[in-house]
Amino acid sequence: MPSETPGTDPGRHLIRYSGHAPFSPEVVVRAAGTSVFTEGGRELLDFTSGQMSAILGHSHPAIVSTVREQVAHLDHLHSGMLSPPVVELARRLAGTLPEPLDRTLLLTTGAEANEAAVRMAKLVTGRHEIVSFARSWHGMTQAAANATYSAGRKGYGPAAPGNFALPVPDRHRPSVVGADGELDWRRQLDLGFEMIDAQSVGSLAACLVEPILSSGGVVELPPGYLAALAHKCRERGMLLILDEAQTGLCRTGDWYAFQHDGVVPDILTLSKTLGAGLPLAAVVTGAEIERRAHERGFLFFTTHVNDPLPAAVGNTVLDILVRDRLDERARRLGAALRDGLDELARRHGVVGDVRGRGLLLGMELVGDDVLGDGGADRLGAAVTRRCYELGLHMNIVQLPGMGGIFRIAPPLTASDEEIARGVAVLDEALADAARTL
């Protein structure tokens, strides 16, 4: 039965929550694998894994089975009670991570995990100042939103004092260059911390960053950057918090993106990919930080902390990642997708850059400097709209002064044919949009 009378706005009773971005024009009634299906019977290839989360695709049979079994057996408990799925997931996460990361707090969303991590860092260090990237996205709760600079800061009154932005080491659009004209990220990092030190009141607690900025434009940190950043933190007695909401659990071809750089954070936050689309997040740290936090009365007591139902799903996610070797699959499919996108860049002049790692890739369209004021926004909207018409769901980030940047993140379970089909649709959409503009 249709949810709305034909011709009416299905979202008319909903609060719009995504800035100026509209809801999709069709209601989605079913999803399976790499596809979602609309009320009108259209199939859309999902190249965003839902909200960058469904790494196993939609309605994975093992996840469906786990939910059915667990919800009938043990779904929710008082927050002080433990259950076998929670104990097991904490143990297994520790087994996937390097020392000393072996203590886990299970929560619901990425914002909540970052909130808890920042709260823990402030308590343990006895300080309050937080550093994050100038194009960061860490969530919409208080501390997470204070550390978010890519959007959502205007119109809500003053942010909490002691939050500082660090320049983004964007190799495609470098702000500090060396004699060769390439990004001089070491000098940029030094300058960034010189500015932070000048503004700090001597209370630097932590640096919260993504190993690959996603909402900030799919910016992969240059080789050596993360280690240098960790050194800057150690010099100042700060903790390094890595937000792997979108990069963790095989998405980038490694189990965790920080392994690519050989840097172990003091605190790691996971979400999105951990529940493969269901609400599950985690804060992971070492025994020493956990001990100090506990001794100082660490409090992060929520309704759904350590709930058994999502924890059971997390265990199933780990089962499938190991069984199907999805880290290797992400590398292989990611290489094929990257080859396809690079070919599009060679043939379409409106593509300015392709970047990323594994199955988290970005494709940047040319900006206003090429198309004139507002041209980049019109082009990005036109390509996105044409992809949708042709049966491909894409997500585009629009940042001031830049072109549109597509965040391309299909499920790790996508087939070779689906990857090729998505690239073909994008090829057609680029040509059509460039022609109309």
Domains, the chain, with CATH or none: 28-60+325-436 (3.90.1150.10), 74-323 (3.40.640.10)
331: confidence class by pLDDT, cuts 50, 70, 90: very high
Closest CA to 249 of 410, 416, 93: 93
- Rounded CA-CA distance 282/114 in Å is 9
Catalytic residue among 272, 338, 355, 357: 272
Taking a C-beta distance cutoff of 8 angstroms, is the pair 430, 383 a contact?
yes
Q: Which residue has the tokens 């299905």?
A: 10
Strands 281-286 and 267-270: antiparallel
User: What's the pLDDT score for residue 317?
Assistant: 98
Instruction: Average the pLDDT over 306-311 and give the result.
Output: 98
Q: Which residue has the tokens 């269901």?
A: 278
pLDDT at 4 over 60: no
Residue 338: active-site member: no
15: confidence class by pLDDT, cuts 50, 70, 90: very high
What confidence tens digit (pLDDT) does each residue in 121-177 have?
Answer: 999 999 999 999 999 999 999 999 999 998 889 999 998 899 999 999 999 999 999
Ordered DSSP codes for 222-236:
PTTHHHHHHHHHHHT
Which amino acid, one-letter code, is at 253? G
- Rounded CA-CA distance 113/268 in Å is 9
pLDDT at 307 over 90: yes
Helix (H, G, I), strand (E, B) or coil at 311: helix
pLDDT at 400 over 70: no
Strand order in the sheet with 351-357: 351-357, 360-365, 404-408, 395-398
pLDDT at 401 over 90: no
Cβ-in-10-Å burial (0-12, 13-18, 19+) of 302 comes to middle
435: confidence class by pLDDT, cuts 50, 70, 90: confident
Catalytic residue among 122, 355, 386, 407: 407
What confidence tens digit (pLDDT) does each residue in 249-284 have?
Answer: 999 999 999 999 999 999 999 999 999 999 999 999
Q: Rounded mean pLDDT of the chain?
A: 94
What tokens were used for 293? 């936090």
| pTM, entire model | 0.96
User: What's the pLDDT score for residue 6?
Assistant: 58
SS3 readout for 242-271:
EECCCCCCCCCCCCCHHHHCCCCCCEEEEC
Cis peptide, bond prior to residue 84, ω within 30 of zero? no
Residue 255: active-site member: no
Residue 210: active-site member: yes
User: What's the pLDDT score for residue 8?
Assistant: 76
pLDDT at 371 over 80: no
User: What's the pLDDT score for residue 18?
Assistant: 86
Instruction: Average the pLDDT over 402-414 and give the result.
Output: 91
User: What's the pLDDT score for residue 22?
Assistant: 84
Percent of the chain with pLDDT over 90: 86
Taking a C-beta distance cutoff of 8 angstroms, is the pair 391, 142 a contact?
no
224: left (phi over 0), alpha (psi -120 to 50) or beta: left
Taking each helix axis as running N to C, give the angle between helix 308-323 and helix 84-96, from 0 to 180 degrees, rounded to the nearest 10: 40
Catalytic residue among 137, 170, 232, 355: 137
2: confidence class by pLDDT, cuts 50, 70, 90: low
User: What's the pLDDT score for residue 7?
Assistant: 61
Residue 112: active-site member: no
Taking a C-beta distance cutoff of 8 angstroms, is the pair 257, 263 a contact?
no
Residue, of 5 and 377, whose pLDDT is higher: 377
The 10 Å Cβ neighbour count of residue 268 is: 24
Closest CA to 282 of 309, 248, 326: 248
Residue 51: active-site member: no
Helix (H, G, I), strand (E, B) or coil at 408: strand
Q: How many residues does the chain have?
A: 437
pLDDT at 5 over 70: no
Catalytic residue among 210, 220, 254, 307: 210
Taking a C-beta distance cutoff of 8 angstroms, is the pair 119, 275 a contact?
no
Catalytic residue among 184, 243, 290, 418: 243
402: confidence class by pLDDT, cuts 50, 70, 90: low
Instruction: Average the pLDDT over 349-369 and give the result.
Output: 92
Percent of the chain with pLDDT over 70: 97
- Rounded CA-CA distance 48/123 in Å is 36
User: What's the pLDDT score for residue 376?
Assistant: 78
What confidence tens digit (pLDDT) does each residue in 120-129 have?
Answer: 999 999 999 9
DSSP helix, strand, coil percent of the chain (3-state; round to 5): 40, 20, 40
Instruction: Average the pLDDT over 9-22 and give the result.
Output: 87
What confidence tens digit (pLDDT) does each residue in 171-201 have?
Answer: 999 999 999 999 999 999 999 999 999 999 9
Give the ranges where 258-400 is alpha helix by DSSP (H): 287-295, 308-323, 326-347, 368-371, 375-389
Catalytic residue among 115, 184, 244, 246: 246
Q: How many helices (H) and strands (E) does the chain have?
A: 13, 17
The three-point CA angle 425-428-432 to 5° equals: 135
Closest CA to 18 of 433, 404, 362, 398: 398
Taking a C-beta distance cutoff of 8 angstroms, is the pair 90, 336 a contact?
no
Residue 342: active-site member: no
User: What's the pLDDT score for residue 373?
Assistant: 76
